[in-house]
Amino acid sequence: MIVHTSKRDIVRFFRIITGLFLFVVLFSSCSADRPKTTSIIELISVPKADKGGGPELDIIKGRVNGAGPNQRIVLYARSGAWYVQPYADQPFTNIEPGSTWSNQTHLGTEYAALLVEAGYAPPSVTIELPTSGNGVVAVVIKEGIPPFWRRWWFRLLLGLAGLGVLWLLYRWRLHQLSTQLNMSFEARLAERTRIAQDLHDTLLQGLVSASMQLHVANDRIADDSPAKPLVGRVMQLMAQVIEEGRDAVRGLRSTSGNADDLETAFSQIGQEFASEQVSDYRLIVEGTARQLHPLIRDEAYRIGREALVNAFRHAQASRIEVELEYSNKHLRILVRDDGSGIDSKVLETGRDGHWGLAGMRERAESIGARLKVLSRAQAGTEVELLIPGNIAFVPTERKK
């Protein structure tokens, strides 16, 4: 077989050979210029932080990645300046086959490890540590382990303990105020019971006795006597006074049973004034009714009744609403009407000769409640009584 080779084929062949040669040269050059693997030194464990300067020693451990042959570790501990460790005449720490190392060190605020080349002479004391270069391959610095009172978990526990103490102080203060209020309520209730007993045993009994004698005298008066009608009217007046006195005594002698809850009591007020011009009287109860302290129940009822009486008799309202709200935080009573409202001056100073608003405020203040009256002329009136729950409600453990 005869093969014919042209001049063009020879030129192409030499071009291919030249390109391959240049590729090999460039690849080899890039491989030669590729940077060596960077050495990394790591501190695994360090001693506690200490001002240093004492004889106490502790263990420091670390690891090296990419260490070269004959390279060693130089340790420093900071005590104002940096001191080589563990001793000035023993400044080097050998790297174990597993790339780990460990040695003793005096205590300090910070600890440092240097990876150095063979022949490097470390300074025994220095203000600033050497940096990479001039025989130093890598440097790492780490603070000593802080004491427990500087740890984050201790500070967290301290904060939580502080919050706990504040909460306990708040609960203790709340319990103290509640105990004082209960003692005050019990004292006032006992005083009211004593007054009721005195009224019953003296004034009412005296009126009943006088009424009985008046009945006897009336029976002896002739039917056609001019004094007969007058004595009859006096007898009716005395009967009315006796009944009102008995009602007052019953109000003073409140019991802890709360036989008439506020919902029932306010409903009866609506029935009492059924003949007034009010066409829409509503009672709204939110939450579950809870047992009230007897004195609180009575004062809340009297404040609410006063607000309702004013709304029925003086507001010229067509609609009146009462809201009772029972919650863990408070007892809230709101009386709202769409009547003529109250003049702002009357709200501030009260109406001459009338003690309704002033009495309501005094009653609210006496039981630690807040009374708010909002009204404008021709815009209706809102009376809100807010009693804190720890004052209003009988604690669960006291229920029998």
Res 44 pLDDT > 70: yes
Mean pLDDT over each residue of the chain, to the nearest integer: 82
Confidence check: pLDDT of 249 > 60: yes
pLDDT digits (tens, 9 = 90+) for 193-241: 777 777 777 777 888 888 888 888 888 888 888 888 888 888 888 888 8
pLDDT tens readout for residues 380-398: 899 999 999 888 888 765 4
Query: What's the mean pLDDT in 304-326?
Result: 88
Q: How confident is the model at residue 258 (pLDDT cuts 50, 70, 90)?
A: very low
CA atoms within 13 A of residue 385's CA, in its CB half-sphere? 32
pLDDT score of 27 more than 60: no
pLDDT band for 5, please (50, 70, 90 cuts).
very low
- Residue 2 has a pLDDT of 40
Per-residue burial over 179-194, b = 16 or more CB atoms within 10 Å of its CB, e = otherwise: eebbeebeebbeebee
Over the Cα atoms of the chain, what is R_g? Answer: 49
**In the predicted model, is pLDDT for residue 136 greater than 80?**
yes
Greatest mean pLDDT among 26-35, 57-66, 288-297, 390-399: 57-66
Question: Please, what is the end-to-end C-alpha distance for the chain in angstroms?
Answer: 126
Q: Is the pLDDT confidence value at 125 over 70?
A: yes
Per-residue pLDDT at 284 exceeds 70 = yes
Phi, psi of 196 (to 5 degrees): -60, -40
* More confidently predicted of 400 and 247: 247
Residue found under tokens 């004062």: 299
Six token digits for residue 391: 């004052």
pLDDT digits (tens, 9 = 90+) for 330-383: 999 999 998 888 777 766 655 554 457 888 888 898 888 999 988 877 778 999
Encoded amino acid at 108, one letter: G
CATH of domain 255-398: 3.30.565.10
Whole-number Å distance between alpha carbons of 161 and 252: 48
Cα-to-chain-centroid distance, residue 72: 58
Whether the predicted pLDDT of 121 surpasses 80: yes
What percentage of the chain reaches a pLDDT higher than 90?
31
Task: Quick: pLDDT tens for 160-201.
Answer: 999 999 999 998 988 887 777 777 777 777 777 777 777 777
Q: What is the DSSP letter of 99?
A: S
pLDDT of residue 31: 42
65-113 confidence digits (pLDDT tens): 988 888 999 999 999 999 999 999 999 999 998 899 999 999 999 999 9
Class of domain 40-146: mainly beta
